[in-house]
């Protein structure tokens, strides 16, 4: 499936790999790096940050999104994530819901260090998304 140009995918994966190097994962050792492409062509990165109180941890996807939002950017075009596992990682359910707030059809590139990748749209990963329309329903 090619939802985004191969060279753009490769750049996002490289930036996600670099961001993963900053992950703070002393408890799980599951390091995640994320790169988000915005409509203006800029790329925001993020990584997971764990906490001894596990519920206070935050995933790399939300870190990258929040950094972009803090800089006034809301037009998300694509997201890539790379984990420290050999298998392809996917966004957790909370991140899928979080990302769907801004673009429920965004392509998600899931990659590993072996050069393997898979691309799926967020609506494929999170069918029947809960959003603003559900809050307006009476």
Share of the chain above pLDDT 90, in %: 86
Predicted pLDDT at 4: 86
Mean pLDDT of the chain: 94
Number of domains in the chain: 1
Distance CA(110)–CA(32), nearest Å, equals 11
Predicted pLDDT at 133: 83
79 found inside a domain: yes
CB 131 within 8 A of CB 99: no
Distance CA(7)–CA(12), nearest Å, equals 9
Predicted pLDDT at 1: 43
Q: Which residues are catalytic?
A: 61
88 found inside a domain: yes
pLDDT digits (tens, 9 = 90+) for 123-136: 999 999 998 888 88
Average pLDDT of each block of 10 consecutive residues along the chain (138 residues)?
A: 82 98 97 98 98 97 98 97 93 96 95 93 94 80
1 found inside a domain: no
Predicted pLDDT at 138: 61
From the number of C-beta atoms within 10 Å of its C-beta (0-12, 13-18, 19+), residue 80 rates as: buried
Predicted pLDDT at 25: 98
Predicted pLDDT at 2: 53
30 found inside a domain: yes
Q: What is the CATH number of the domain that holds 55?
A: 3.40.140.10
93 found inside a domain: yes
- Host domain of residue 54: 6-136
């Amino acid at each position: 499936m090619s939802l985004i140009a191969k060279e753009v995918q490769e750049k996002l994966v490289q930036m996600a790999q670099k961001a993963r190097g900053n992950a703070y994962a002393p408890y799980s050792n599951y390091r995640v790096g994320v790169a988000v492409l915005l409509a203006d062509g800029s790329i925001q990165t993020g990584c997971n940050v764990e906490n001894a109180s596990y519920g206070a941890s935050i995933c790399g996807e939300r870190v990258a999104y929040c950094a972009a939002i803090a800089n006034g950017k809301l037009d998300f075009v694509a997201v890539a994530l790379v984990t420290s596992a050999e298998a392809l990682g996917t966004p957790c359910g909370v991140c899928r819901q979080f990302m769907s707030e801004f673009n429920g059809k965004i392509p998600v590139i899931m990659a590993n260090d072996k050069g393997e990748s898979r691309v799926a749209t967020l609506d494929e990963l999170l069918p029947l998304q809960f959003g603003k329309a559900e809050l307006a329903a009476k």
